[in-house]
Amino acid sequence: MRTPLPIPPLKTGASAHQKSYPAKTKDMIKVDLPKERAKDWKEVMLKKMAEVLDRNRSVRLYLESCVKCGACADKCQFFLGTGDPKNMPVARADLLRKVYNRYFTLGGKIWGKVNEAADLDEAMLQDWYTYFYQCSECRRCSVACPFGIDTAEITMAAREIMAAAGIATKYVTEVVAKVYDTGNNLGIWPAAWKDSCEFLEQDLKDTENIDIRFPVDEVGAEILLVPPSADNFVNIDTMIGYAKMFHAAGISWTTSTYCNEGGNFGMFLDYGNLKKVNNRILEAARQLKVKKVYWGE
């Protein structure tokens, strides 16, 4: 892009109606979260917020160090696309910051609104759900911030706090649930994964007259390849590229039907699922007794 996008005129509430579909009960159970919004959701969220602030000192630092300079304001594609001021990174972070000020700072507890504090009430929860799910966690805004404030990390904190009270979206819970069911985001079952690998082997024989293997679940291979699962489904030229490279280098390798997804959508849900999805890679490496893991997304 040669010239910056023009800053749009402010349109208050322009994307307030764009709410993500709520998670389905079956997926909430699968990702080990409360299956519906907790009756005492406010207490649960504040408890989780205290835990997140203790665990991630960076979040507390980001909440306390913003000087409202506005350098990030026009860096978010969601603001540029909608003109909704709550999609400015600084305003998005303020949704969490106001609640932090209200319940976790002395000034906010005593002076409330004067200290830029706000209650965690239904209206605030609706704003959190809307605007923290209109952030793609791309971190573009953090590059512009003179203090290095990472709004993506603030978004992750807010989503984790909501998830603890049973509030999450259909998309992200469904995708993580698929990883636990099938090993990947796309829901490719082991038999289909193997079938696709066999198809690619045959395809290379037919089209290029070369004999290259696409090994699956081979114990003792040197390398475990954990690609984006789409590489064995739609972007098959990339999968063919991996196989040719390992073949040319004479390296033994394998994919795993337990874990064949390089992307970690747990990052878009909560820390617990982020860790659990990551651990599947380690578990697959142990199962197959490989020496190295090649992993990318």
Asked whether 244 and 206 are in contact (CB, 8 A), the reply is no
Nearer to ligand SF4, 90 or 243 (CB): 90
In the bound state with ligand SF4, the residue whose beta carbon lies nearer, of 87 and 229, is 87
Smallest distance, Å, CB 78 to ligand SF4?
Answer: 5
What phi and psi, each to the nearest 5 degrees, are found at residue 295? -145, 125
Query: Measured from the CB of residue 279, what is the shortest distance to ligand SF4 in angstroms?
Result: 26
CB of 97 to ligand SF4, least distance (A): 10
> What is the C-alpha radius of gyration for the chain, rounded to an integer number of angstroms?
23
Q: Which of 13, 27, 77, 100 is nearest to 265 (CA)?
A: 27
**Residue number with CB closer to ligand SF4 (48 or 97):** 97
Q: Closer to ligand SF4 by CB, 5 or 69: give it.
A: 69
The minimum distance between CB 114 and ligand SF4, in angstroms, equals 20
Which residue, 78 or 193, is less far from ligand SF4 as judged by CB? 78
Smallest gap from residue 147 Cβ to ligand SF4 (A): 5
Altogether, the residues listed in the chain come to a count of 297
Tokens of 37: 């919004």
In whole angstroms, the minimum distance from the beta carbon of 82 to ligand SF4 comes to: 11
The binding site for ligand SF4 (CB under 6 A) comprises 66-72, 75-76, 78, 89-90, 92, 135-141, 144-145, 147, 149, 151-152, 155
Report the C-alpha dihedral over residues 19, 25, 31, 32, rounded to 10 degrees: 120
Cβ closest to ligand SF4, residue 30 vs residue 86: 86
Task: Give Cα separations from 86 to 14, 155, 263 (angstroms).
Answer: 9, 13, 28
Q: What is the largest distance, in Å, between two alpha-carbon atoms of the chain? A: 77
